[in-house]
Amino acid sequence: METLKALFTSKILYITLGSITLAGILFAVLLDFVIMPNYTNYNQGVTVPDVTKISLDEAEELLESYGLRHEILDRRAHSAYPANYIIDQAPSAKQLVKPNRKVYLTVNTAEIPQTVVPDVTSMHIRNAEIQLENNGLTVGTRSYESSRFRNTIIRQSVAPGDTVGRGTVVNLVVSDGLGTRTVDVPELVGKSLSEAQQLIMRAGLRVGEIRFEPNRELTPNTIISYSPNERRLTEGETLLLVVSERFDAREESETGAIIDDTTAVAPPDTLEIDNP
């Protein structure tokens, strides 16, 4: 106890703590006002020059004179520019950037680079657009037609597998999921579930909820009824199906599996035979 008391009442302890605190404050001040500004070129900046519409050689020379670096990001064909002229730049002109910043250039090429058109039919529209852009193509107009799968591509204006110039515009025909055209509802009652599903999809309709009902007379998985029960429906509409199942199928518990009692047959040696 005497040792601790002497330690906490010693002037040396307080002088040491004060020195450490002061040193920390001085270091923070130097870091904030001297070290970091010098490291990040604080309060220094370069205004990016406009290097579009000039040749690549001129652009390189101009950027170097401003203390900036450059990199060719892409080469495209543009009829309004001579070969090896700058079409675009990033960052754009007149932006204030740090010295030695890299400027990305898009350069015009005399020869149009070629690319193969991907097959985007049946894709979701967003995936189709990404595929086309990744292949250097331009997504054009989007028109809509009636089809049962909403926002999927029905047709594309340029055939899949064609070799075309990068930047070629590809127009898309997209499914609206539910059009104005009406279709005949196929005869479903009495059909098996798998056959009914195929008939429904071929007619341009959709299979929705499937409900099972016990039935003594029908083979399991036979269509009992459907809703809406109409002769014609709008293309893309959904049908609810009511399907037969074994009448004596029962659930052992609420979460258990369905057990079919009709398949349980006693072994021959356990069968009881009535005496005549």
| Domain contains 124 | yes
What is the Cα–Cα distance from 250 to 273, expressed in whole angstroms?
Answer: 29
What is the Cα–Cα distance from 157 to 239, expressed in whole angstroms?
Answer: 33
- Count: domains in the chain: 3
What is the Cα–Cα distance from 212 to 242, expressed in whole angstroms?
Answer: 6
Residue 31, CA atoms < 13 Å, CB-side half-sphere: 6
**Structural domain containing residue 226:** 182-263
193 and 223, same structural domain? yes
Mean pLDDT of 223-231: 93
Beta strands in 96-151 (DSSP E): 96-97, 102-108, 114-116, 138-145
Locate tokens 């040491």: which residue? 16
Question: Do the Cβ atoms of 86 and 40 come closer than 8 Å?
Answer: no
| Domain contains 70 | yes
Q: 43 falls in which pLDDT band (50, 70, 90)?
A: low
217 and 202, same structural domain? yes
Classify the C-alpha dihedral 201-205-211-214 as positive or negative: negative
Check whether 8 has a pLDDT greater than 90: no
Q: What is the CATH number of the domain that holds 53?
A: 3.30.10.20
104 and 118, same structural domain? no
Check whether 252 has a pLDDT greater than 50: no
Mean pLDDT of the chain: 82
201 and 256, same structural domain? yes
* Consecutive H or E run containing 245: strand 238-246
Tens-digit pLDDT profile for residues 72-83: 998 887 778 888
pLDDT at 249: 55
pLDDT at 186: 94
126 and 69, same structural domain? no
187 and 259, same structural domain? yes
pTM for the full predicted model: 0.39
Classify the C-alpha dihedral 213-216-220-224 as positive or negative: negative
